[in-house]
Amino acid sequence: MLFAMETDIGKIEYDKKLIAHIALILFSKMNGKVLPAYHKGKQPRQLIRGENYSADFVKCTLSGERLDIKIYINLIFGTSISETVKKLDADFRSQIPKIVGLNVGECTIAVNGVISKNFSKRNLEVTTYA
């Protein structure tokens, strides 16, 4: 999906890969305890191998002047789900307007599962509204 923003010097266009990149930067600040995942819980193999990644762990829609975001993640065992979701939500709401220029309307963080020796499904979705 392509988004556009008008500025004084012209039109800036970007897609969900920019949001995915911001998400990966925010995940890296969580000390490796948050991992991107597809909607069924599997991790993108490209990220594991260090290759060019797919942005399929992020879904973005533009509703008026706001950007609605849905992000799929897995957590490492021992990570607090509620604290992690609150921190990620606050980080997205502060960083997206700085970088993209749009406020976040609806932010949904879907915790697919917890990784330890085995993968434990959680299928939790936390949605916050502006």
Rounded to the nearest integer, the mean pLDDT of the chain is 84
Q: 9-13, 74-78, 80-84, 91-95: which has the minimum mean pLDDT?
A: 9-13
Parallel/antiparallel/unpaired status of strands 103-115 and 119-129: antiparallel
- pLDDT above 70: residue 46: no
Asked if 3 and 67 touch (Cβ cutoff 8 Å), the reply is yes
Sign of CA dihedral 123, 17, 94, 6: negative
Q: What is the pLDDT of residue 49?
A: 47
Q: What is the pLDDT of residue 52?
A: 57
Rounded mean pLDDT of 87-112?
A: 91
Global confidence as pTM: 0.84
Rounded mean pLDDT of 17-28?
A: 89
CATH (one of 3.40.50.261, 3.30.70.1350, 3.10.580.10, 3.40.50.300) for 2-129: 3.30.70.1350
Where are the domains positioned within the chain?
2-129
Indicate the SS3 state at residue 22. helix
Q: What is the pLDDT of residue 108?
A: 95
- According to DSSP, residue 120 is labeled E
